[in-house]
Amino acid sequence: MTSSNTPSQIVVVGNGMVGHHFVEQLHQALPSAKIIVLSGEPRLAYDRVHLSEYFSGKSAEELAMTTPELYDSWGVEHHCNAYVDNIDKAAKVVTTKSGETYSYDKLVLATGSYPFVPPIPGHDQEHCLVYRTIEDLEGIEASAKESKVGVVVGGGLLGLEAANALKEAGLETHVVEFAPQLMAVQLDEGGGRLLKNKIEDLGVKVHTSKATSEIVAGENCRFRMNFQGDDYLETDMILFSAGIRPSDQLARSFDLEIGERGGIVIDNQCKTSDPDIYAIGECALWQNRIFGLVAPGYTMARAAVSHLIGGDTEFEGADMSTKLKLLGVEVGSIGDSHAKTPGAQSYTYENQPQGIYKKIVVDEQSNTLLGAVLVGDSSEFDTLLQYSLNSIALPEFPETLILPSTEGAAPTLGADALPDSASICSCHNVTKGDIIATIDAGTTDFAGIKSCTKASTGCGGCTALLKNVVDAELEKRGVEVKKDICEHFAYSRQELFHLIKVNKIKTFDDLLAQYGKGLGCDICKPAVGSILASTWNDYILEKDHVSLQDTNDTYLGNMQKDGTYSIVPRMAGGEVKPEGLILIGEIARDYKLYTKVTGGQRIDLFGAKVNQLPEIWEKLIAGGFETGHAYAKALRTVKSCVGSTWCRYGVQDSVGAAIEVENRYKGLRAPHKMKMAVSGCTRECAEAQSKDVGIIATENGWNLYVCGNGGMKPRHADLFATDLDKETLIKYIDRFWMFYIRTADRLQRTATWMDNLEGGLDYLKDVIINDSLGIAEELEAQMQHVVDTYQCEWKTAVEDEKSRKRFRRFVNSELDDNSVVFVEERGQIRPATEAEKLSDINIIDATETSEA
């Protein structure tokens, strides 16, 4: 709803995550409003939650949450490096340091917070830094190049994130904490102790109960940190991450009410002491509380927007429960984790050999969950959070919620047990009721519900719970949650895979006779053809298989817009001999083909007609080339940098590894095309983290990344395992690819597949690394069968006379196709437009080759 008093011009000071969320929400609610964004930083909003990923290869652009072009399309006026230092409340004008003025009807302060730096003598020297902005990261990166040892002062959430950044930057890393334990706010003593042990096992040294008295010149390093007492620590860099303070200087200077310990005082509508000024995020103080997480800031933003347009949404506090990974260690904290509630009781489970600590805090009657601590395994977090937030009655034996699965263990909390008010997505404040309303409004597919509600589009941690709720609600309405691949098979792709594998079915007709109906269609035929190829690896153009293939697979090349085909010979790892380049050039010249270097380190030849394909393949095969499978839902490429062989930064032979990997997996058919890359160091020149499988060299071996992809919805790959030797690396990749091929839906990329797995990355690690399903040997054996039965499909085609006949343009004639017409552009051919064909201007004769 909107009010007749809706303001026409809103100025937003600050463009962090919360400030951007406010702009986004206001634009959606009131597109006609004039919004002016003034950012004190040199860039627009970016994801501070994942800042440490900057050191594992993520760029500032990839961390960005918006762009100038997006704001322009919304009609949002935006200014960077626009630090506001004056508010004229009477005139309703703000002024920047550079003197620009902006009038407002309503002013929104989203100025966030700044890092607290303890007043330790020597804290203001060069290489004494903070961890807050991208500019801070650039400073850390520059300092790291001149340092070997780094220390983080502060062992809270931000401090451990900062420690991860230093470790990613390659420094010997230490954490110094004043309190006797890490994460003292969120974790109890037992959880803090285990977290310390696990982080130290990862190579980060933790020093608790340490108060730094001064920072002086070191003997072996740049600095020496003297602690109270006789203890000290030498380091080259010091990174302060000892907490935050609200950025309330602007409000303080112009007589807005400030809390006793800082923060701009707000009410439930996020209004300050001036009714025309709002404050949201970490600069705001609500009932003497500062909320240092992004989700409460988002809730404040929505409350402020609601009030501006005459709505009734209020900010009434926020749950500060959190689930995250710190240096790869799973940590969860819910509610009263310290059991401070009168009468509270605790159940604790600790498994020291596996590094797991779990505690739940319940009320005096053991009816209600008050809090929880999870370290080392946070798999129960979602269930425990729902018990806590919705006061759901605990099972008779509450301890079963955290004990390892045994007989009598408590069942997972189902979707039906949740009230409509249950928060499903805390990032975007989406309740079960919101999801139900979306379904009732007519949206019944999972992707559509995510799009409408934004649930699971933040951190993604609620994906599994969201899917459970959606499926349960659809089934209640009598909507069948179908997984059938098509009308001819009442099975999902995964079920068809198992039927084919277990029953040793070798043809589509046999599968149809036993488990299907009708004649098949363009959905099930290619899907089954892919499964058959993945399982048995027979030649795809055999009589029983050829009718299952799409046009590209049928002619072993990618069909182009004018009916010609492209030819992409394999160049494993991007490596090619001069003779190979010369041969490709000669073929392109002789057949008048358009040539282009692809993004996957291949050379693509465009413009070949069907009848020319076999003779071109013969020439390429004679020169040592084979099919690159660019036409198939198969491994397309393994991109590589030059690695340690040539590059002064390389630490491993990335080209050799890429060639080995590509030769192992070439020809592997899958639900979707697959791409891989190998980088010789963390500078990541091969862009491995944008691939389905990415491999990055380290001093100790190889780091493995999985489930990244480009395309319409780009996604960075997730770190899967570190410092692997070659044998283990290949073993994990074998298992990964085969598990994907077994379980993914048709045309489902690896990124979407993993997101839809219940448990996501952690579940995948458990299957691949820990062999939790007991199928590792079977997956490896199946992959080895594919490797052992590889054949170059071009070679098989040209050596088989029956196959060659398929490539005639006319069944009863060897004549060429005169309908293909080219024109010249930039010295090469391209397909002629219809107008150019009619005009006959600049038409190139495509019917002859220089050999003819």
Annotated binding site for siroheme: 685
Beta bridge partners of 361: 346, 371
**Closest to 284 (Cα-Cα) out of 256, 312, 313:** 256
Q: Rounded to whole angstroms, how far apart are CA atoms 241 and 226?
A: 18
Angle at 323 (CA atoms; ends 369, 391), nearest 5 degrees: 20
Q: Which two tokens stand for residue 405?
A: 């699965």
Annotated binding site: 641, 647, 681, 685
Q: Rounded to whole angstroms, how far apart are CA atoms 313 and 306?
A: 6
Q: Rounded to whole angstroms, how far apart are CA atoms 19 and 32?
A: 19
Q: Which two tokens stand for residue 598?
A: 């692809």
Where does 81-171 show beta strands of DSSP type E?
A: 84-88, 93-96, 101-103, 106-109, 113-115, 128-130, 149-153
Place of tokens 């949404």: 313
What is the Cα Rg of the chain in Å? 31
Q: Where are the alpha helices (DSSP H) in 91-230?
A: 134-144, 157-168, 189-201
Q: Where are the alpha helices (DSSP H) in 649-745?
A: 654-665, 726-743
For β-strands 172-176 and 205-207, DSSP reports them as parallel
- Number of neighbours of residue 501 by Cβ within 10 angstroms: 16
For β-strands 828-831 and 822-825, DSSP reports them as antiparallel
Annotated binding site for [4Fe-4S] cluster: 641, 647, 681, 685
Q: Rounded to whole angstroms, how far apart are CA atoms 109 and 274?
A: 12
How far CA 307 is from CA of 11, 65, 106, 257, 269, in Å, comes to: 15, 25, 11, 20, 6
Query: Edge to edge, what strands does the sheet with 843-844 contain?
Result: 828-831, 822-825, 843-844
Residue type (1 letter), 281: G
- Number of neighbours of residue 313 by Cβ within 10 angstroms: 16
Return the SS3 of 725: coil
Q: Which two tokens stand for residue 460?
A: 């993604």
Q: 90, exposed or middle or buried, with CB in 10 Å at 0-12, 13-18, 19+?
A: exposed
CB-based contacts of 504, cutoff 8 Å, min separation 6: none
Query: Edge to edge, what strands does the sheet with 34-38 contain?
Result: 77-79, 34-38, 9-13, 106-109, 277-279
Place of tokens 């928060």: 423
Contact 54, 137 (CB under 8 A): yes
Q: Rounded to whole angstroms, how far apart are CA atoms 751 and 741?
A: 13
Where does 521-673 show beta strands of DSSP type E?
A: 558-559, 565-567, 594-597, 603-608, 635-640
Q: Which two tokens stand for residue 572?
A: 């494993």
Contact 492, 484 (CB under 8 A): yes
Contact 580, 619 (CB under 8 A): no
Contact 667, 583 (CB under 8 A): no
Phi then psi dihedrals of residue 287, to 5 deg: 50, 50
Contact 179, 152 (CB under 8 A): no
Q: Which two tokens stand for residue 94?
A: 């703000």
Q: Where are the alpha helices (DSSP H) in 356-481?
A: 381-389, 432-440, 446-453, 463-476
Q: E strand or H helix at 206, and its extent? A: strand 205-207
Q: Rounded to whole angstroms, how far apart are CA atoms 159 and 132?
A: 11
Q: Rounded to whole angstroms, how far apart are CA atoms 354 and 138?
A: 37
**Closest to 609 (Cα-Cα) out of 847, 393, 422, 389:** 847
